[in-house]
Structure 1
Amino acid sequence: MAEQSSEPTQSNASGDFLAGDSLLAELMQMVSAFWASRERNKLLMLAAALVAVVGATAYEQIQLNAWNRPFYNALTNKDMAAFLGQLGVFAELAGILLVLNVAQMWLNQTYKVVLRQGLVHDLLNEWLVPLRAFRLSYVREIGANPDQRLHADAQHLTELTTDLGIGLLQSTLLLASFIGVLWVHSRGIVLSFAGHSFRPPGYMVWCALFYAGTASFFSWRVGRPLIALNAEHYARESELRFSLVHVNEEIESIAIYGGEADEKKYINRIFETVIEISRRIVGAVTRLTWITAGYGWFTIVAPILVAAPGYFFGKMSFGELMLIVGAFNQVQQSLRWFVDNFSSIADWRATLLRVASFRRAMQATDKLGHTANRIALEETGGQSIHFDDLKIAAPTGSITLSEAHLDLNPGERVLIVGERGVGKTLLFRAIVGLWPWGSGRITHPARRSMMFMSARAYIPPGTLRTAVTYPHSAGIFKDADITEALTGVGLERLLPMLDQVDRWDRRLNDDEKQCLVFVRVILQKPRWVVLDGAFDVLDPLSRKRIEMIFKGPLADVGLINISRNGTYNPFYTRTLHVVRDCLKTH
């Protein structure tokens, strides 16, 4: 017998999924997902290229620091020829560093795009496993907003992981390279002119403001296209978010139709538009980097050029000035990496927890309630549906059918009714396979020969033709058959709009949407149709049309209508009742 305790509770399931959320466990889970990703090889190549570019940049910066000695010697000796020669050497080193910096930016942005592509594909494949997404909705908070985990959290995690990883690698290499230079050469800086030592008030400030102003102007000129690109990017991201929310809101209908694969294809198409605009942004950011990085590297020599008059006409050691400025900038930036990025590290840790726990919950939801009694749901090669000693666990007890053993044959039209709140929808979900908790046995033909319809009709996004043939491809049905089916249910006015893309779930009223679902039945001709109140939302004229179709072209199709309306109707050949099971096992 089914007991009330046989239904798994949401709190227990959620607690199991969130247990043991250590950083190491989260990292190992995400690493295993990365290793199984189809983007793995591309990510490994990009990572190797990043390490090589960052290492080469550090090496070139060491060479640049070594360049200081002959350059400053030329300045000290006031050797104009040597000075000009060393400027040529600097131009070569700065050119190499500029190319490396642009390459690093391109690799950084591309790595984010590819890493997100791999992560979202992995999460999407885990989420839209048949029946899994529906069951995940019973796992309390972690199953409440999967669209947020798949969209915003996945994007944020990939961006933070890339930025923090590259920043840590770069800072470590630069710190190891320049801390010794700063230790040895740190000295005070004094400007001398005509035998007097002084600090011109605001001289370097005004030079810095002028330098920053010109850099900002050219950056704005080159980076202006990013405004429109980012606006389009946000729009595409919003479209992706909507599609994920739409699937989450309609997941029961999708699961009933077995349309997870079709939804995955649709979401992947939208996701590819996001990837495409992201690639365009990568190109725009790369072009901007030529300006920003060029000014950044020119900053190394700009203070020298600005302060050169003080050296040539004064007694100050310009070489010491530039050594300490260059080394100090590198060291302090490296040392401040952890402090400057502490909030980002905390954000990364929290985002990693959300994504990793969501992924673990999706995998664990297949085992939800395995310790409880379960209904045996079997497919056979026959055409009949059999119920044997069925008891369905419900939040208020358990329910059963008025007859313990039932054999239903194709062509029968069965009405199942029950008092309000008894749990008729649970019977529907048990037949579909969405609600396995209880006891007894349900035997039915192959799922592909059955169709299930809930009271809330599901209309997928896209063209009207796609909605009519869902979850199958529109190309497998002839236009004549679609025309005949739409006309049969009274929707002939929609024929000119078959290939029009619209929000049909909003444009059509409830009666029209449900009639559209019955068009699918006419086209697909299943052996059985199981309804959960689908007839109840039809107006009398539409219901009469559908009944005539089941008496005529679909007379050999079996029909089970779990209805909220218990009024006698000669259309049905058999009437059953859902009742509360008063017998308990103690």
Structure 2
Amino acid sequence: MNGNDPSAVGPAPLRRFWRMALGFWTGGSAWIPWALMALLTVCVVTQLLMQYRLNFWNRDFFNALERRDGREILQQTYLLPALAASSIGLAMTAVWGRMTFQRSWRAWLTGQLLDVWLSNDNYRRLDNGRGEPQLAEYRIAEDARIATDAPIDLLVGLLSSLLTAATFVVVLWTVGGTLDLEGSGTTLKLPGYLVFASIAYAVLTTGAMILVGRRMAHVIERKNQAESELKFAVAHLRNLPRPTTPSGDGQNASVNFALAEVIRQWRNLCGQHVRTTLVSHGNTLLAPLVGLILCVPQYIHETMSLGEVTQAAAAFAAVQGAFNWLVDNYPRLAEWASSASRVGVLLFSLDMLATTKVRREAS
């Protein structure tokens, strides 16, 4: 498999990456990832409970405002710092656990890659082979970092999104109640209308993100390959004789070509990010407002208090954040797929060297 092959982002390289990377979870150091994952799970669940409590604080505070109840407003004001401090402490603990996890996994995976790359002079044989990935050092240092950083962030975020969606869908169903639509002498009742509106909105935004960002993984793969080729070209200058002309244009031609390709691929990536930002940023702006607007009929007909409107709008935004996990993480997921595939391509190449060596010894 060639490092220049655009199809490098695919299931086979990803499977090869996971075959090695999951060794961190099963070997002698397996207690580290499992302990850290347990810590992160506790943080996610506890943080969700805090978010749930803050959602009800939102209701109680605005209901007190609507009643002009000074004592209740003061009580809720005193309660807020304690809730905020608890949430901040949990967030700090989760950051420590997440980054410790990433650091440990990267150290383990990099060590494994270096062992395979340096054994049996594989690094020399890769450089001398045809069609092999260029500058394996870049894949070991940079791609291995991204390939171990992103899964932890994505997994923790996905777990949080699933639990948040399950929790706040119940809040939406309970607080939102039934919407009565009157027309032509009949009344149409829509129970749990906020839940169905939230699902429809999430399907729309997620579908839009998949549509506009469908080429992002391929573009990131091409950008990473161009970056590695530029590093290779610059490093190769050290092995060339001194230029006979002051400018040395002949020797710099390969570097200039590689740099032009890097800039071109970054331009393509910029276009991808602009399109995905259109969806993600638009969703960030609109989701809370859509939740408020959907609650207006209930508030006008006095079936919802002001506190319940703000509670439902906050729950709607929380559910949207959960349902739109793919919208928010699509660029990161595409970048991870590209880097993990590049590590998998390197491992395939090292596997081929090992197979060739065994065949030669057998013959």
Percent of pairs with identical residues: 27
User: Which of 304, 307, 311 is the matching residue for 1:319?
Assistant: 307
Counterpart residue number, 2:50: 60
2:344 equivalent to 1:353: no
Is the 8 Å Cα contact of residues 126 and 363 (structure 1) preserved in structure 2? no
Deviation at 1:156, TM superposition (A): 1.6
- The TM-score, its normalising length taken from structure 2, stands at 0.56
Spell out, residue by residue over 1:334-382, the C-alpha distance to the aligned partner (whole angstroms, 9 max, x if none).
121112322322222222122123234324422215445878xxxxxxx
Corresponding residue SS for 1:131 = helix
The answer (yes or no) to whether the contact 1:124–1:150 under 8 Å persists in 2 is: yes
Separation in 2 of the partners of 1:20 and 1:327? 37
Residue 155 (structure 2) pairs with residue 165 (structure 1): yes
Q: What residue identity is the alignment partner of 2:84?
A: A
For 1:149, the equivalent position in structure 2 comes to: 139
- Do 1:37 and 1:122's aligned partners in 2 also have CA atoms closer than 8 Å? no
The structure-2 alpha-carbon separation of the partners of 1:35 and 1:134, relative to structure 1 and needing over 3 Å to count, comes to farther
Which of the numbers 297, 314, 318 marks the counterpart of 1:330? 318
Query: Which of 81, 85, 99 matches 1:95?
Result: 85
Shift of 1:96: 0.7
2 CA distance for matches of 1:19 and 1:74?
56
Cα 1:26–1:373 change in 2 (3 A) is closer
Q: What do the CA deviations read for 1:469-521 (whole angstroms, capped 9, x no partner)? A: xxxxxxxxxxxxxxxxxxxxxxxxxxxxxxxxxxxxxxxxxxxxxxxxxxxxx
- The equivalent of 1:36 in structure 2 is 27
Which deviates further from its counterpart, 44-53 or 176-185? 176-185
Cα distance in structure 1, aligned partners of 2:145 and 2:13: 22
Counterparts of 1:484-503 in structure 2 under 5 Å?
none
Three-state SS of the structure 2 residue aligned to 1:368 is helix
Distance 1:55 1:42 in 2: 20
Q: Determine if the alignment matches structure 1 residue 48 to structure 2 residue 34.
A: no
> Residue in 2 aligned with 1:393?
none
Larger Rg belongs to: 1
Whether 2:353 is the aligned partner of 1:362: answer no
Between Structure 1 and Structure 2, the one with more strand by share is 1
Task: Report the AA paired with residue 332 of structure 1.
Answer: Q
Change (3 A) 1:20 1:92: closer
Deviation at 1:166, TM superposition (A): 1.9
The structure-2 alpha-carbon separation of the partners of 1:373 and 1:117, relative to structure 1 and needing over 3 Å to count, comes to closer
- Quickly say closer, same or farther: Cα 1:78–1:165, change in 2 above 3 A: same
Query: How far did residue 97 of structure 1 move?
Result: 0.7
How many pairs align?
A: 244
Q: Does 1:178 align with 2:168?
A: yes
- Asked whether the equivalents of residues 71 and 86 of structure 1 are also in contact (C-alpha less than 8 Å), the reply is yes
1:158–1:23 CA distance, 2 compared to 1 (3 A):
closer
Task: Return closer, same or farther for 1:113/1:120 CA change in 2, 3 Å cut-off.
Answer: same
Q: Distance in 1 between matches of 2:71 and 2:9?
A: 70
Which residue of 2 is the match for residue 266 of structure 1?
A: none
State how 1:251-290 maps to structure 2 within 5 Å: none
1:342 paired residue number: 330
What's the offset of the Cα at 1:18? 11
1:551 corresponds in structure 2 to none
Does the CA-based 8 Å contact 1:182-1:324 persist in structure 2?
yes
- Quick one: distance in 2 between partners of 1:36 and 1:363? 21
Q: Deviations over 1:405-455 (max 9, x none)?
A: xxxxxxxxxxxxxxxxxxxxxxxxxxxxxxxxxxxxxxxxxxxxxxxxxxx
Q: Which amino acid aligns with 1:174?
A: T
Cα distance 1:373–1:26, how it changes in 2: closer, same or farther (>3 A)? closer
Q: CA deviation at 1:123?
A: 0.9
| Unaligned ranges ≥5, structure 2 | 178-230, 240-287, 289-303
Once residues 25 and 351 of structure 2 are traced to their aligned partners in structure 1, the CA distance between those partners, rounded to angstroms, is: 16
2: distance between equivalents of 1:328 and 1:19? 36
Tell me if structure 2 keeps the 8 A contact 1:60–1:97: yes
- 2:9/2:341 contact within 8 Å kept: no
C-alpha displacement of 1:144: 2.8
Return closer, same or farther for 1:33/1:21 CA change in 2, 3 Å cut-off. Answer: farther
Q: What letter matches 1:42 in structure 2?
A: I
**Which residue does 1:104 correspond to in 2?**
94
What is the Cα deviation at residue 150 of structure 1?
0.6
Contact 1:29 1:356 in 2 (8 A): no
Distance 1:349 1:118 in 2: 20
Q: CA deviation at 1:169?
A: 1.6
What residue is the counterpart of 2:301 in the other structure?
Answer: none
More contact order relative to length (CA 8 Å, sep ≥ 6): 2
Query: Over aligned residue pairs, what C-alpha RMSD do you find?
Result: 3.9
Output the amino acid matched with 2:21.
M
Normalising by the residue count of structure 1, what TM-score does the alignment of the two structures yield?
0.36
Displacement, 1:320?
2.5
Write out aligned runs for 1:189-208 (5 A).
Answer: none
